[in-house]
Structure formats: C-alpha cells, structure tokens
C-alpha cells in the first residue's frame, strides 16, 4: 500500500497549553477516519475515529516517536486494517521503520492492530498485567512483559514506561519521553472538555485517584500530556481528571 505525500490534506492550527507558549500543530489527513498531528520535531499523535453506540463518533489517540529513520509506536488504531494504513503511511511518507510497539492497556483502542504489527515482525513490549489480560481475553499477546518500569532506547534517546497502578483499567501504563518532555498517560487522563470519566467498565475507582497523584508527582516537567481521547494539553489534564474523580 503506497500513500503519496501529494494526496494528503495538511491543515495547521494552534493549541494553547497551560504553562508555556502556543504550539503550532500540523494536522495530516491520512485516510477517512485516520489522521496525524505533529506535536514536535520528533513526535506525532495519531488519531483514529470510530462510532460508539453510547457516545457517537470517538477519536482515539496514539503516539509515534521518531529518531534517525526509526520509530516506536504507542497504541494502535482499533483495527488491523487501520493499523496497516497508518504503518504504510509512516514507512512511505516519513521514510522510517517501526522498530517497536508498546500498548497503554489491553483495550482494542490501544492494541487492536497488534496482530498486524506482529505479522510484520515488529517487536512489542507491554505491562505483564496487560499480557495476562490478553491471554485471558484470547487476544493477540504482546511479546515481552515488564513489571513496574521499562526503559527502551531509540538510538541515544530513552523511552520510559511506568506502571503506577490501576486507573482507567487495572493494567494501564504511562509513557515518558524525557528529551521531548512528552507524557502519554492514555485513557487514564481526560481532556479538559471531558465532563465524565467515560468508560469505567474496567476501572478501579478506588485506586484511580492514587494512581493519578503518583503520575503528577513523578512528572513535574511534563509539557505535553496526551490523553487517550480528545485534545492534548499540559499537566492541567491530570488535575482535571482528579476533579472528575472527586465528583
């Protein structure tokens, strides 16, 4: 599958983040229901859309981190087909190879395209709790498990993955890229427009606020915070999530 750069619709806009200046964002439409937003010189958020019977059209966020023609992918679109479309665009238009994958948790808006990634020989790492849950649910299983924390390297840059406890799900992790000051807590963080916690079917509402407090304390330098759904922002997303938990 080949995606020409010239066929892409590129839009630009501005998002204001608490604590630092406006960031110019470049939006790239890859296919119907699939787009990218460039958030730094080396990082993109991928957004895929699906229709939920209760909430209507929902966008799910993932992260792509690039260094020297190589990339790590964090979360996939919900299907193998959309994941194939995304990976093909990354390879053809960014001219990079995906060398690793980490899902935030076991739901299909995080690892729905894992089977396709595995068919391409892309190595995956995940929280051991995620692996255990994937086995239980008879889902594709990530290759390598970790407990508590994991440090991956993309050339000379570190990618750090942490498990601080249950929140949106019992297995959800956060990804921290120190060189970019990007924090990807995924679905445990709600965007500032959210009025509810969304899907809490697999949440642990007793542990959720404790986990968010740990995340806030651990990453005081985070500048860009990426939720699982909705608009990215700064650390105010984590504080907003705590407010929602208090309601």
| pLDDT bucket at 25, cuts 50 / 70 / 90 | confident
Look up 107 and say whether it is catalytic: yes
Q: Which residues of 133-155 are buried (b: 16+ CB within 10 A; e: fewer)?
A: bbeeeebbbbeeebeeebebebe
Look up 46 and say whether it is catalytic: no
Q: Other C-beta atoms within 10 Å of 89: how many?
A: 22
Q: Which of 42, 127, 187, 235 is catalytic?
A: 187
Q: DSSP 3-state assignment of 139?
A: coil
Domain 5-246 has CATH 3.50.50.60: no
Query: Would the pLDDT of 56 be above 80?
Result: no
Q: Which of 133, 168, 235, 240 is catalytic?
A: 168
Q: Which of 190, 191, 235, 240 is catalytic?
A: 190
Chain segment 102-154, per-residue pLDDT in tens:
999 999 999 999 999 999 999 999 999 999 999 999 999 999 999 999 999 99
| pLDDT bucket at 53, cuts 50 / 70 / 90 | confident
Query: Would the pLDDT of 15 be above 60?
Result: no
pTM of the model: 0.90
Mean pLDDT, rounded, of the chain? 90
Look up 143 and say whether it is catalytic: no
Query: Would the pLDDT of 2 be above 90?
Result: no
Q: DSSP 3-state assignment of 91?
A: helix
Q: Which of 38, 46, 133, 229 is catalytic?
A: 229
Q: Which of 46, 107, 133, 235 is catalytic?
A: 107
Q: Which of 42, 104, 127, 199 is catalytic?
A: 199
Return d(Cα 147, Cα 162) in angstroms, integer. 8
pLDDT for 55 = 65
Q: What percent of the chain has pLDDT over 90?
A: 85
Query: Would the pLDDT of 7 be above 90?
Result: no
Look up 193 and say whether it is catalytic: no
pLDDT for 18 = 42
Look up 187 and say whether it is catalytic: yes
pLDDT for 61 = 98
Query: Would the pLDDT of 8 be above 90?
Result: no
Look up 190 and say whether it is catalytic: yes
Return d(Cα 85, Cα 165) in angstroms, integer. 33
Give the least confident one: 18-32, 102-116, 168-182, 196-210: 18-32
């Amino acid at each position: 599958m080949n995606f020409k750069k010239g066929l892409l619709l590129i839009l630009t806009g501005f998002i204001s983040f608490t604590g630092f200046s406006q960031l110019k964002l470049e939006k790239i439409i890859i296919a119907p229901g699939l787009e990218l937003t460039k958030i730094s010189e080396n990082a993109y958020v991928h957004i895929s859309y699906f229709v939920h019977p209760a909430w209507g059209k929902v966008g799910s966020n993932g992260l792509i981190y690039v260094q020297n023609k190589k990339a790590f992918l964090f979360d996939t679109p919900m299907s193998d087909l959309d994941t194939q479309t995304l990976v093909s665009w990354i390879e053809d238009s960014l001219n990079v190879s995906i060398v690793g994958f980490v899902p935030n948790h076991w739901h299909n808006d995080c690892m729905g395209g894992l089977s396709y990634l595995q068919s391409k020989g892309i190595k995956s790492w995940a929280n051991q709790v995620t692996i255990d849950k994937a086995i239980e649910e008879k889902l594709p299983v990530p290759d390598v498990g970790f407990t508590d924390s994991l440090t991956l390297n993309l050339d000379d840059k570190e990618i750090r993955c942490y498990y601080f406890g249950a929140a949106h799900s019992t297995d959800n992790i956060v990804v921290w890229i120190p060189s970019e000051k990007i924090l990807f807590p995924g679905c445990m963080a709600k965007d500032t427009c959210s009025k509810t916690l969304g899907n809490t079917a697999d949440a642990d509402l007793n542990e959720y606020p404790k986990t968010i407090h740990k995340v806030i304390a651990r990453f005081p330098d985070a500048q860009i915070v990426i939720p699982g759904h909705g608009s990215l922002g700064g650390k105010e997303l984590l504080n907003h999530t705590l407010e929602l938990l208090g309601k």
